Chains A and B, each alone.
Chain A
């Protein structure tokens, strides 16, 4: 497991302070709380969970856009959690990000060839103009955009095309890890499939490693090798894709999976409907954070925090008292 590990995250924490006036004690939103996982080279790990569970925060922590409060981010054998801004900058070359909203993630006043050339100008300032343009041209064609359009501005493109431009920008530095933060959730279903297929093809061609953040389980099933399920800042289950989708262990994973619509009206399925809202992250429930909504909650669940344990023979890790 250690040999070809590209990214390893251990005990990562990020608490956002919220203050309620001068004299009350400071409270924290535990956006990411003691998260550990690792990704092997060439694989895709998907992070799934409801909105507000901390999956996007986790992505930004790994990319260094926000600083972690505690824990390790080991990328290619180097711990980046405590690294200086200068050291981070050199690691941004092999680690790129694709954003959710292709309308907002591209600078509105730059031509797309300038947008895509930005990373080159930052990391390879010695390149000549011609070399840079040749690279931009080839990467645009790989991502399915005609070079003929490179003089246009982002607002002249459709959502799917813009996401392709975003992917081209992430790819031009030949990164090893791509953090994709809900890359298809802003797109139409037909375009989603195109973008997912493009991502898969690129992964095969360039041995890319993906950290794929999504709330859409059908998308996750299509693209992942491993899946990590997050709930209120914690990973509750992490397992290979087949294990998650065929034999989910954690009650939360089961509930999530049962909410995925099946395109067959005759097929009847027992759907687990969770009670109530996701609890306030500033004041999460004691013990297992899921016990307030869990259909199988026991008395121990409200007292003790469950630890990650391997269950079954498929490297399936679950944090639940049912399997302790």
Chain B
């Protein structure tokens, strides 16, 4: 009786797919899981935020300028009397939008370059990797400032700039994994069947690189949000009137001595978002790919 019990338990365990094992492992990691819940909350806010804000984040109210925290304005109001909480909620969309879209673009370009570089090797690899080395030599934010300086300020250009500086890290990481995977026997088996190069790269090598891409993507979104906020703070990103966290910081820095809430809450929003994304990335890395740790 007990034997049949164990057997059936084993069968259940073996039947459980990779996805549910992943979910189980993920929930074991408290910090990562809480970060994930926070990130989900941010995404929900980004989607429905503009419809649930208590006040219009754009409309000035000159009767209630620079108020402190109160029952009516939980996070106070800014120098035009706009509700800070509403602006923060509305700003989630801009910050996450910039962060995610720029990193996705950068990841796509970087992945293709990394796959090509790692698979073909020789001069292709050398060329791509030397260009990446050059880009690595610039501090990220300096590179982004340079690009925005050339293209001009604005959200689209910020996205492009942030995407641009995340390309080399993705390229280098995917290349490393490609070098490892392309020597594996099942790739040789594919070649012996007669598979063409693009089939081998995209159908067989690319899926093996997905876990490390996901992990790095998550961490890089935090960096991208920070970079976008920095650009906005410097006046190179979102226009000062739009509810962007970086722009809010920039606008309120003159009041840092008198109205700390104006600086504190946007800073806190950026801090918590980046922290949660970094923790989420760490947790995903531990589950998906325990080998990369840098």
Contacts and interface: CB of A to CB of B under 8 A. Distances in A.
Interface string B152-181: 000000000000000000000000000000
A109 B208 contact: yes
Given A109-B208, A156-B14, A122 B195 contact: yes
Interface of B: 14, 184-186, 188-196, 199, 204, 207-208
Given A122-B199, A156-B14, A106 B192 contact: no
A119 interface: yes
A56 B195 CA distance: 21
A104 B194 contact: no
A65 interface: yes
A230 B189 CA distance: 24
A119 B184 contact: no
Contacts of A109: 207-208
A252 interface: no
Interface stretch (A18-26, A92-100, A300-308): A92-100
B193 A106 contact: no
A65 B191 contact: yes
A295 B184 CA distance: 40
Contacts of B192: 63, 65, 92, 96-97
A89 interface: yes
A169 B186 contact: no
Contacts of B188: 65, 99, 105
A123 interface: yes
Give the bracket for the number of chain A residues in contact with chain B: 20 to 34
A105 B194 contact: no
Interface in A135-150: none
Nearest to B194: A92
Contacts of B189: 97, 99, 105-106, 166, 169
B119 to A, nearest CB: 15
A119 B195 CA distance: 8
Nearest to A104: B185
Contact of A122 (B184, B185, B193, B208): B193
A101 interface: yes
A166 B191 CA distance: 14
A122 B196 contact: yes
Nearest to B185: A104
Contacts of A88: 194
Contact of B194 (A99, A106, A119, A166): A119
B177 to A, nearest CB: 13
Q: Name, among A104, A106, A107, the residue most crowded by chain B CB atoms within 10 Å (CB to CB).
A: A107
Contacts of B196: 89, 122
A108 interface: yes
A118 interface: yes
Given A96-B192, A169-B193, A107 B185 contact: no
Given A93-B194, A97-B192, A119-B194, 14 more contacts: A65-B188, A65-B191, A88-B194, A92-B192, A96-B192, A96-B193, A105-B185, A105-B188, A107-B190, A108-B186, A109-B207, A122-B193, A123-B194, A169-B189
Q: Name, among B188, B196, B208, the residue most crowded by chain A CB atoms within 10 Å (CB to CB).
A: B188
Contacts of A107: 186, 190, 204
Nearest to B195: A122
Interface in A109-152: 109, 118-119, 122-123
B207 A101 contact: no
Contact of B186 (A92, A93, A106): A106
A99 B208 CA distance: 21
Contacts of B204: 107
A89 B194 contact: yes
Contacts of B14: 156
Interface in A35-88: 63, 65, 88
B8 to A, nearest CB: 17
